Amino acid sequence: MKISMDIELKDIPGQLVLALKPVSDFGGNILSVLHQREKKTPSGKIPVQVVLEIAETATAERRLEGLVEELKKQGVNVVRVGKERLRESVVVLLIGHIVHTDLRETIDKIDRTGFAEVVALTLSMPGVNKKSSASVTVSAVGREELKAALKILEATADGKGIAVVSPI
Protein backbone atom coordinates (compact mmCIF):
# COMPACT_ATOMS: atom_id res chain seq x y z
CA MET A 1 0.00 0.00 0.00
CA LYS A 2 1.15 3.50 -0.76
CA ILE A 3 1.09 5.94 2.14
CA SER A 4 1.52 9.70 2.27
CA MET A 5 2.60 11.07 5.65
CA ASP A 6 3.03 14.66 6.80
CA ILE A 7 5.41 15.08 9.72
CA GLU A 8 7.06 17.97 11.56
CA LEU A 9 10.71 17.92 12.59
CA LYS A 10 12.78 19.97 14.98
CA ASP A 11 15.20 22.29 13.19
CA ILE A 12 18.36 20.52 14.33
CA PRO A 13 20.83 18.33 12.41
CA GLY A 14 19.98 14.64 12.08
CA GLN A 15 16.20 14.90 12.45
CA LEU A 16 15.40 13.86 8.89
CA VAL A 17 17.55 10.72 9.15
CA LEU A 18 15.97 9.98 12.54
CA ALA A 19 12.51 10.16 10.97
CA LEU A 20 13.33 8.11 7.85
CA LYS A 21 15.22 5.22 9.46
CA PRO A 22 12.12 3.61 11.03
CA VAL A 23 10.48 3.36 7.61
CA SER A 24 12.87 0.58 6.58
CA ASP A 25 12.80 -0.91 10.09
CA PHE A 26 9.06 -1.50 9.64
CA GLY A 27 9.38 -2.91 6.12
CA GLY A 28 8.66 0.26 4.18
CA ASN A 29 10.23 1.65 1.05
CA ILE A 30 10.61 5.44 0.70
CA LEU A 31 9.26 6.72 -2.64
CA SER A 32 9.72 10.46 -2.09
CA VAL A 33 10.58 13.05 0.54
CA LEU A 34 9.65 16.73 0.39
CA HIS A 35 11.72 18.49 3.06
CA GLN A 36 10.66 22.13 3.24
CA ARG A 37 13.51 23.49 5.36
CA GLU A 38 12.83 27.11 4.40
CA LYS A 39 9.28 26.89 5.80
CA LYS A 40 8.23 26.63 9.44
CA THR A 41 5.01 25.36 10.97
CA PRO A 42 3.21 27.51 13.58
CA SER A 43 5.05 25.47 16.24
CA GLY A 44 8.43 26.43 14.68
CA LYS A 45 9.13 22.99 13.20
CA ILE A 46 10.01 21.98 9.64
CA PRO A 47 7.24 20.35 7.55
CA VAL A 48 8.17 17.17 5.70
CA GLN A 49 6.01 15.02 3.42
CA VAL A 50 7.07 11.40 3.05
CA VAL A 51 5.53 9.03 0.53
CA LEU A 52 6.30 5.40 1.25
CA GLU A 53 5.15 1.96 0.28
CA ILE A 54 4.51 -1.03 2.52
CA ALA A 55 3.85 -4.38 0.88
CA GLU A 56 0.18 -5.42 1.02
CA THR A 57 0.33 -8.27 3.51
CA ALA A 58 -1.73 -9.35 6.50
CA THR A 59 0.63 -7.36 8.76
CA ALA A 60 0.79 -4.15 6.69
CA GLU A 61 -1.64 -2.21 8.92
CA ARG A 62 0.21 -3.26 12.09
CA ARG A 63 3.55 -2.28 10.59
CA LEU A 64 2.15 1.14 9.65
CA GLU A 65 0.79 1.60 13.19
CA GLY A 66 4.18 0.54 14.60
CA LEU A 67 5.97 3.02 12.35
CA VAL A 68 3.75 5.90 13.50
CA GLU A 69 4.23 4.94 17.17
CA GLU A 70 8.02 4.76 16.71
CA LEU A 71 8.10 8.18 15.09
CA LYS A 72 6.10 9.63 17.98
CA LYS A 73 8.49 8.01 20.51
CA GLN A 74 11.38 9.75 18.76
CA GLY A 75 9.67 13.12 19.11
CA VAL A 76 8.50 13.38 15.50
CA ASN A 77 5.10 15.06 15.23
CA VAL A 78 2.96 12.98 12.84
CA VAL A 79 0.41 15.40 11.43
CA ARG A 80 -1.32 13.20 8.83
CA VAL A 81 -1.19 9.64 7.56
CA GLY A 82 -3.19 8.69 4.50
CA LYS A 83 -3.35 5.69 2.24
CA GLU A 84 -3.28 6.68 -1.39
CA ARG A 85 -5.90 5.08 -3.60
CA LEU A 86 -4.43 6.42 -6.84
CA ARG A 87 -1.09 4.69 -7.37
CA GLU A 88 -0.12 5.54 -10.94
CA SER A 89 0.32 9.08 -12.34
CA VAL A 90 1.36 10.78 -15.54
CA VAL A 91 1.81 14.41 -16.54
CA VAL A 92 0.64 15.45 -20.00
CA LEU A 93 0.66 18.79 -21.79
CA LEU A 94 -2.38 20.19 -23.53
CA ILE A 95 -1.98 22.85 -26.23
CA GLY A 96 -4.86 24.70 -27.86
CA HIS A 97 -7.90 26.75 -26.93
CA ILE A 98 -8.25 24.83 -23.67
CA VAL A 99 -10.46 27.18 -21.68
CA HIS A 100 -12.71 28.12 -24.61
CA THR A 101 -13.46 24.43 -25.26
CA ASP A 102 -14.71 23.80 -21.70
CA LEU A 103 -11.81 22.43 -19.68
CA ARG A 104 -14.20 21.34 -16.92
CA GLU A 105 -15.97 18.90 -19.24
CA THR A 106 -12.64 17.35 -20.18
CA ILE A 107 -11.65 16.92 -16.52
CA ASP A 108 -15.10 15.59 -15.55
CA LYS A 109 -14.89 12.81 -18.15
CA ILE A 110 -11.80 11.45 -16.39
CA ASP A 111 -13.03 12.08 -12.85
CA ARG A 112 -16.35 10.28 -13.56
CA THR A 113 -14.56 7.02 -14.39
CA GLY A 114 -14.19 6.19 -10.70
CA PHE A 115 -10.72 4.79 -11.34
CA ALA A 116 -8.86 7.96 -12.35
CA GLU A 117 -8.78 11.65 -11.52
CA VAL A 118 -7.15 14.87 -12.66
CA VAL A 119 -5.14 15.71 -9.53
CA ALA A 120 -3.20 18.77 -10.69
CA LEU A 121 -3.56 21.42 -13.36
CA THR A 122 -1.33 24.35 -14.32
CA LEU A 123 -2.68 26.64 -17.00
CA SER A 124 -0.92 29.32 -19.05
CA MET A 125 -2.99 31.77 -21.09
CA PRO A 126 -0.93 34.29 -23.09
CA GLY A 127 -3.99 36.14 -24.41
CA VAL A 128 -7.75 35.92 -24.80
CA ASN A 129 -7.70 34.71 -28.40
CA LYS A 130 -4.37 32.93 -28.29
CA LYS A 131 -3.77 29.24 -27.73
CA SER A 132 -3.13 28.26 -24.14
CA SER A 133 -1.22 25.39 -22.63
CA ALA A 134 -1.80 23.27 -19.56
CA SER A 135 0.16 20.74 -17.58
CA VAL A 136 -2.29 18.08 -16.39
CA THR A 137 -1.50 15.35 -13.87
CA VAL A 138 -3.76 12.32 -14.15
CA SER A 139 -3.66 9.64 -11.44
CA ALA A 140 -5.33 6.23 -11.45
CA VAL A 141 -5.66 3.11 -9.34
CA GLY A 142 -3.40 1.10 -11.67
CA ARG A 143 -1.44 1.14 -14.94
CA GLU A 144 -4.21 -0.19 -17.15
CA GLU A 145 -6.69 2.29 -15.66
CA LEU A 146 -4.20 5.11 -16.27
CA LYS A 147 -3.91 4.07 -19.93
CA ALA A 148 -7.70 4.06 -20.20
CA ALA A 149 -7.91 7.55 -18.64
CA LEU A 150 -5.32 8.86 -21.10
CA LYS A 151 -7.34 7.44 -24.00
CA ILE A 152 -10.38 9.33 -22.70
CA LEU A 153 -8.32 12.52 -22.43
CA GLU A 154 -6.83 12.10 -25.90
CA ALA A 155 -10.22 11.40 -27.52
CA THR A 156 -11.84 14.36 -25.79
CA ALA A 157 -8.94 16.68 -26.65
CA ASP A 158 -8.91 15.48 -30.27
CA GLY A 159 -12.60 16.33 -30.60
CA LYS A 160 -11.86 19.85 -29.38
CA GLY A 161 -8.77 20.46 -31.52
CA ILE A 162 -6.40 20.31 -28.55
CA ALA A 163 -2.99 18.67 -28.90
CA VAL A 164 -1.93 16.22 -26.18
CA VAL A 165 1.78 15.70 -25.52
CA SER A 166 2.32 12.53 -23.48
CA PRO A 167 5.53 10.99 -22.18
CA ILE A 168 7.01 8.22 -24.31
Give the pLDDT of residue 76: 92
Q: Is-contact 107 121, C-beta < 8 A?
A: yes
Given this model, what pLDDT does residue 21 score? 93
The dotted CATH code for 2-83 is 3.30.70.260
Which pLDDT does position 56 carry in this prediction? 79
Contact predicate 29/52, CB 8 Å: yes
CB 41 within 8 A of CB 86: no
pTM of the model: 0.55
Let me know: does 110 contact 118? Beta carbons within 8 Å: yes
- The correct CATH number of 88-165 out of 3.40.50.300, 2.60.40.10, 3.30.70.260, 3.30.930.10 is 3.30.70.260
Domain ranges of the chain: 2-83, 88-165
**pLDDT of res. 85:** 65
Residue 100, pLDDT score:
85
Q: pLDDT means per 10 residues in the chain (168 residues)?
A: 88 92 91 84 88 85 92 91 79 92 89 88 88 92 90 94 90
